[in-house]
Amino acid sequence: MNEIKKTAVVTGASQGVGREISLILAEKGWNVVVVARSVDKLSALKKDILQDFSDCKVYECPCDLSASDGPDKVLDFCKNNSLTVDLLINNAGSGLFGESVELGDSVLPMLNLNVTALTRMCSLFGKEMKTRGSGSILNIGSIAGNQPSSYFASYAATKSYVFNYSLALRHELGRYGVNVTLVQPGYIRTSFDNGCGITSEKYKKFSYNNGMTAKAVAKCAVKSVLKKRAYVRAGLRNKLIAFFCGLLPKNFLAWVMAKSVWSMTKESLTKSN
């Protein structure tokens, strides 16, 4: 008798950490539903997975999760394909850099994606897992969510939400046999900085030198959720940073963060005003 393979939904799967997570899960024998906006990148990912893991089933689900009906479309896609989702990975997210009062309403799509879409995905798929009495949810947060981060104020606040929401949800769903895991990376060597609108080469160099590869973060994330950990800071450097920052008064920490980012980006910030 053939063993029934488990199925995972991976959002933000077209590049970076999401792409690497999809590859790792396929290698471990999972079927994957890959979700992202780019049809071409999803097709390329499917081709790469099937080239190395031909027994894996890959379902492409092109979708903009920042749209109000995005999460519902993903759920409908899974139902239409008769898929039971054993693992939901909320990796999709975006950032925005700049002075908060200058960014204005441009932060709203990010808030929708990082907070509303993630919450809705957890609600929709978590309810099915609760009814079934099994399943896991992995939310990708950020160590930025552990402290106020000037010039990334809204982004960091969304990741603070993800941190607290994930831990609370873990204890709500745990009694029904459903696991929730949070992973907090720090800097990652991806296109995130460019996507945020950062132009400072000094900051980008700092970010790269202190960053982990997407593959390393993905390995940590998959390992953590399969072991049903509560939350994990990816990488020793980030564990140490989180520990020592936790010892500092929040207002002092906010001042340090503001001074640090300003020193690296003041030229680009001044030009944008």
Active site residues: 155
Helix 16-27 with 214-226: angle, nearest 10 deg: 50
Cα 180 to Cα 102: distance, rounded to the nearest angstrom: 36
Angle at 254 (CA atoms; ends 257, 260), nearest 5 degrees: 15
The C-alpha torsion from 41 through 44 and 46 to 47, rounded to 10°, is 180
Q: Please list, in sequence order, all residues whose beta carbon lies within 8 angstroms of the beta carbon of residue 170, skipping any fewer than 6 positions away.
A: 179, 180, 181, 182, 230
Is-contact 4 30, C-beta < 8 A?
Answer: no
Query: How many secondary structure helices (H) and strands (E) does the chain include?
Result: 12, 7
